[in-house]
A and B are shown apart, each in its own frame.
Chain A
Amino acid sequence: MKISLLYFAWVRERIGLDGETRDLAAATVGEALAALSALGDGYAAAFAEPHRLRFALDQDFVDADAALREGAELAIFPPVTGG
């Protein structure tokens, strides 16, 4: 299904993009990561340590098992460090 992807901080740097829209064979966030990791070294490097990744689906924090829907906005980023 078609997903709007956003990348932040070192995830963005490793992939070399701040965002993109892709048609992914994935039903969950975790499956989207697996599909993206197969696309190239940058993605594989960005997603190599899943415990260091956090996700937001349509601007709400979710876990890797969250279900995707057509047209969703999935953001992938490291644990936040604001404040």
Chain B
Amino acid sequence: MITVRVQTEAFDLAAETRALSDGRTDIGAIASFVGLVRGGEIEAMTLEHYPAMTTKALEAIAGEARRRWPLLGGTVIHRHGRLLPGDPIVLVAIAATHRGDAFDACAFIMDYLKTGAPFWKKEETGGESRWVEAKTEDDTARDRWN
């Protein structure tokens, strides 16, 4: 019921939310989040992942969200490969009867994804590249759900 996709291609939020609600009248709320590559000093970013584990990890996170909230559908998309500033990286769209559940499940999935899905970012700046360090704030954000 929550579809997970891991892909190199870009995605379209409008198309994804439309697909969730198409032909249905029971959905009262769709909350969505799109993460983008932040520019500034960064010229490009490459996302590496662990193909055999990535979908499994994302599906486990989506499954946990479904256990915690009464959801009517959802889509999680995470890109990998080389991306440029402004490019979308990740999409979470969650459908529910009411907004509270949709907002909470969307935030929960993002907080868990940041610390529990096997992706690694490498940033390119001034011809050099470096691996992004994990942030303790991400652990804190995840732990607020416990």
Residues on A lying within 8 angstroms of B by beta carbon are: 6, 8-10, 56, 59-61, 73, 75, 77-83
Q: Quick check: B53 and A59 within 8 Å, CB to CB?
A: yes
A77/B120 contact (C-beta < 8 A), A10-B131, A82-B78, A83-B110 known: yes
Interface size class of B (residues with CB under 8 A): 20 to 34
Say whether A82 contacts B113, CB under 8 Å. Answer: yes
Let me know if A83 and B89 touch, CB within 8 A: yes
Indicate if the CB atoms of B117 and A8 lie closer than 8 Å. no
Closest residue on chain A to residue B47 by CB atoms = A82
B120–A8 contact, CB under 8 A? yes
User: Which residues of B does A touch, CB under 8 Å?
Assistant: 35, 47-50, 52-53, 56-57, 78, 89-90, 110, 113-122, 131-134, 138
**Contact, CB under 8 Å: A9 / B53:** no
**Given A9-B120, A81-B132; 11 other pairs, CB 8 A cutoff:** A10-B131, A56-B118, A60-B53, A61-B116, A78-B120, A79-B115, A80-B116, A81-B131, A82-B90, A82-B118, A83-B117
